[in-house]
Amino acid sequence: MINADAKWKKKGVLVIAHGSRNNEANEAVTALVERLKGRLETGLVEAAFLELANPSIPEGIRALAAKGMETLVVYPFFLSMGVHLKKDVPQIVEEAVASLGRELSCQILEPLGMHPKVMDIIVDTLLNEVRE
Structural contact between residues 109 and 73, judged by C-beta atoms closer than 8 angstroms: yes
CB atoms within 10 A of CB 102: 8
Structural contact between residues 80 and 20, judged by C-beta atoms closer than 8 angstroms: no
**Tens of pLDDT, residues 7-16:** 667 899 999 9
Residue 1 pLDDT: 44
Q: What mean pLDDT is reported for the chain? A: 92
**Tens of pLDDT, residues 20-52:** 999 999 999 999 999 999 999 899 999 999 999
pTM of the model: 0.90
Q: CA nearest 71: which of 95, 106, 44, 37?
A: 106
Residue 6 pLDDT: 60
Q: Amino acid identity of 123?
A: V
Phi, psi angle pair for 88, to nearest 5°: -65, -55
Band (5; pLDDT cuts 50, 70, 90): low
